[in-house]
Structure formats: C-alpha cells, structure tokens
Amino acid sequence: MPTTPIAPPLYPSVVYRCDSPTQAAGLLNREAAGYVYSRDGHPNGDQLAAICCQHHAVQEGIACGSGMAALSTLLLGTLSSGDHLIASNLLYGQTTNLLRNELPKLGITSTEVDPCDIQAVEAAFANGAKGLLVETISNPMLRVIDLAKLAEIAHGSDAWLAVDNTFASPSVCRPVEHGADFILESITKMMNGHSDVLLGFVGGNVDSLERLRKASITWGFTAAPFDCWLATRGIGTLDLRVERACANAMTIAQTLQADGRVNEVSYPGLPQHPDHELCRRQFHMGRFGHMLSFTLPGGWDAASKFIAAARCIPFSPSLGDLETTLSHPASTSHRKLSQEERLGYGIDDGTLRLSIGIEPVERIVDALEEGLTGLR
Ligand SMILES: Cc1ncc(COP(=O)(O)O)c(C=O)c1O
C-alpha cells in the first residue's frame, strides 16, 4: 500500500492464513510476531493494550473482554489451589463476589481487610499471602488508598500488589509509580468514556505477563476486535475528558457542600476529605477524580424524589460516561448488604453517587438544583 491510513484499520477476522506449518507453529508458540487465531490475539487487541500500557507507563498489558475478565486473568494467571489473597473490604461488589464465591471452588481463599487501616493490613499478612488487591478510590464513599504504603507491606511479605484503578483512570493516578505490580482497569468506564463497550485491561510492572496471557487465552477472556477498535478511539480523548470532568467535579462538590439541603459530600478534592493530603501526593496535576457522593437527609424517600426530579441526570448505575450520571448505592451496588453493614461503610439510604461528565458545569448545577427542588 503506497500510503497508510491515519485511522486504525479494524480486523474482524477470526483466523489468519499461514504460509507454512513452520510459520504457523512459530506464530502459535509466540516465537514470531503475528496472528493465527483471534482468541490468541489480534491487531486491534494489541493496539489497545499498547495504548493502555503507554498511559500506565508499563511494559506489558493485555486487553480483555471486560473489567471482570481482566481481574479473572490476573487471579487465574497468578494464583493456584492453596494460595491466599488479601483483599480490600471496599472492592467493587462483583469482585468481592468472585473472591468469596468463585475462587474458593478452585481452592483459592482470601481475607478482607480495611485498606485504610495500615495496621490491619500488616496483621493480615501475618499468615502469609500471595498478593494484595485494592482499588485506588473506593466506591461509593471515595476513600483513597495509600498505594506506596501498601506496596511496601506487600513486598515485605514477597507478595504482589494489584490495583484496580477504574475510578481514577491513568489520567488521575498511575499505580505503578507508587509501587504496584499489577494494574487493572475496567476500560468500560472512564477510559473508553462513551458507555458503548465492555472491556478490561491488566498490565504489569513485572518481568513477564506470559502466565496471565495464557490464562486469558485459555479461559476465553479475549476482547472482541470491534470493541478494541472503538475503545482506541475513546481513549484518544481520555486526558482531555478527565481534565474537564475533574474540574466539573470540584465545582459540583463545592456547590453541594455549600447547600444546606445536602447532609454530607464526599469528594477527595475537598480539604476536609480524610484522604485529601494523600491525593496531593498520589494523583497527577492536582486532579481528584470525577466521582463524588452526597447524602440527602430523608433516606430512601428523599433519594427517590431527587432521582425523579433530576430528569437531566440519568439514574444509570455505571460511571465514566460523557455526561453526568447518577447511582443509588443502597438499591444497586450495595443492595445485598444489610442496612447495618451499609451504614458501617457510611452509606445511607439517602446517599447518591455522581459520575461527573464533561458537559458545561452550569448544566450539571441546574440539573442538581431540579433534583433538590423536588425534595420539597
Ligand atoms: C471498580 C470496578 N472494577 C471493575 C469493574 C468491572 O468492570 P466490567 O463491568 O467492565 O467487567 C467495575 C464495574 O463497575 C468497577 O466499578
């Protein structure tokens, strides 16, 4: 071809024609670069993985069919029957479900610990563990985890630290810069940013991800070419979107904080947030993320009224879309916990979580005002 396209080509082909048995064997054994069968790898997956690696400043990474597929790739690629994992007690619900209900079937056990309680994490390592799994920013109360401290503890016990960075994205935090060995992203969220693909990424600051790659291929976690192609386009604007969403989130946090109709606002950018100083060390360019939570007096009833009145903010329990969306943890992500357990995490029935988008901030302020007016 005399010229090359600027937009990346899409390669939907499942299988590739080989010149000879020697070439086929070499490609399948990964002794030569190229493709044979798309579950083993394809150009769009490799291109997406390379872009994610660049964002995270890691050598190697794998694009997977969802954030959960990336997590499963990590766990199945690093752990064996008899191994033990230490995990944050503030993880995404399906991650906890995987650790509590699926991994034990394979003989892999885990202990849950408050990742903000350094002594508790140290104590959990007393019985040995292969790894420690945390999230950079917790859902929905947005506690920020001290990654450097946890890396030190994990490495002191010859264990790895894996960090699910989905709520931050690499435009807010790069966990490997703070000692993490593995990073996970649900690309589905802010990284792709358009709510139109389900994808995940696992990357490593380690010698080789070959065992993870084998696990991903064998268990069938490979991402689809079209999804990778779309996400490549989405990630192209990641930094711009995150910059704008973080600025909007700060304005919204300050606006809600100053509003007497709101009980409590949790946003790491507010000086009174318990992890505000840590964020200044751990996050890039004075950014504090695009997620925030606030609690309305009046519990479930008030949350329902707000959701009905804030017509311009979709109640859609995901995050990272172009536009602001809203979630109600008590009826969605945390519905399986008892009310007592939820309160233990600071989640009231009147707690709402916002994923702040990149629309003009006045539009978000107006939409929230509609919701608050609806409380009357
Ligand atoms: C923090 C976090 N990690 C992982 C996941 C799973 O990602 P996916 O839905 O792409 O499988 C989610 C999904 O909401 C999440 O919020």
The domain ranges of the chain are 21-235, 238-373
Q: Which one of 102, 189, 196, 227 would you pick to mutate in the ligand 1 pocket, going by the greatest count of ligand atoms within 8 A of its CB?
A: 189
Residue 76, pLDDT > 90, answer yes
For the domain made up of 21-235, the CATH class stated in words is alpha beta
The residues pairing with 131 across neighbouring beta strands, listed in sequence order, are: 85, 160
pLDDT number for residue 239:
98
Query: At a CB cut-off of 8 Å and minimum separation 6, what does 54 contact?
Result: none
The two three-digit tokens of residue 186, written as one number: 């649900």
By alpha-carbon position, which residue is closest to atom 10 of ligand 1? 67
CA–centroid distance, 349 to ligand 1, in Å, is 22
Strands of the sheet containing 160-164, edge to edge, are 60-64, 200-204, 182-186, 160-164, 131-135, 84-88, 109-113
pLDDT number for residue 307:
98
pLDDT number for residue 336:
87
What is the spatial distance between Cα 336 and Cα 342, in angstroms, rounded to a whole number?
9
pLDDT number for residue 61:
98
What is the spatial distance between Cα 368 and Cα 84, in angstroms, rounded to a whole number?
45
User: What is the pLDDT confidence band of residue 362, given thresholds at 50, 70 and 90?
Assistant: very high
User: What is the pLDDT confidence band of residue 337, given thresholds at 50, 70 and 90?
Assistant: confident
pLDDT number for residue 2:
87
Q: Which one of 52, 88, 94 would you pick to mutate in the ligand 1 pocket, going by the greatest count of ligand atoms within 8 A of its CB?
A: 94
**pLDDT tens readout for residues 311-321:** 999 999 999 99
In 3D space, the residue among 76, 71, 73, 105 whose CA is nearest the CA of residue 88 turns out to be 71
Query: Would the CB of 67 count as within 6 Å of ligand 1?
Result: yes
> Which pTM does this prediction carry?
0.97
- % of the chain beyond a pLDDT of 90: 95
Radius of gyration for the chain, computed over Cα atoms and rounded to the nearest angstrom: 21
User: What is the pLDDT confidence band of residue 205, given thresholds at 50, 70 and 90?
Assistant: confident
In 3-state terms the chain splits into helix, strand, coil percentages (rounded to 5) of 40, 15, 45
CATH number of 238-373: 3.90.1150.10
